[in-house]
């Protein structure tokens, strides 16, 4: 079965990683970012080696987002970021493994990703099964 691991962060996280926060206010250092990058590369490589990796990508900052919806039957487009949204989807990993328990074990490993103390606990991941068709939605 395939699963999507959805990784969440905030616009502030993106700003800090891009160096757009004054040095005295930044939580992430260049070393922190390098450690996170190395962890994620190893995380994905381990999944490739185990045969469970399908795909993974980071997403651009929320400021580059457009939300599409309808109001009274008329399309409405809103440019991001959205101040009412504390966290946003920052990236995803798709895995294929033997079941929800194994997918949960893999996702739980993300808690080992290095981060500065002030940033720990603000990022999180959701795990959801992917459906192959309508039949998977019934039941």
Q: Which CATH superfamily is domain 2-132 in?
A: Dimeric alpha+beta barrel (3.30.70.1060)
For 87-136, write each residue's pLDDT tens digit. Answer: 889 999 999 999 999 999 999 999 999 988 888 777 899 999 999 888 77
For 123-133, write each residue's pLDDT tens digit. Answer: 899 999 999 88
With a CB cutoff of 8 Å and minimum separation 6, the contacts of 97 are 1, 3, 52, 103, 106
Note the Cα 33 to chain centre separation in Å.
15
For 45-66, write each residue's pLDDT tens digit. Answer: 999 999 999 999 999 888 888 8
């Amino acid at each position: 079965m395939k699963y999507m691991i959805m990784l969440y962060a905030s616009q502030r996280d993106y700003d800090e990683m891009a160096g757009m926060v004054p040095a005295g206010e930044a939580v992430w250092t260049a070393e922190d970012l390098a450690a996170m990058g190395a962890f994620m590369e190893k995380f994905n490589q381990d999944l490739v080696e185990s045969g469970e990796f399908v795909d993974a990508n980071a997403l651009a900052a929320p400021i580059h987002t457009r939300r599409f919806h309808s109001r009274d039957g008329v399309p409405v487009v809103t440019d991001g970021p959205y101040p009412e949204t504390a966290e946003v989807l920052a990236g995803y990993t798709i895995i294929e493994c033997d079941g929800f328990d194994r997918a949960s074990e893999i996702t739980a490993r993300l808690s080992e990703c290095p981060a500065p103390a002030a940033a720990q606990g603000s990022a999180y991941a959701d795990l959801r099964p992917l459906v192959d068709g309508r039949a998977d939605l019934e039941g």
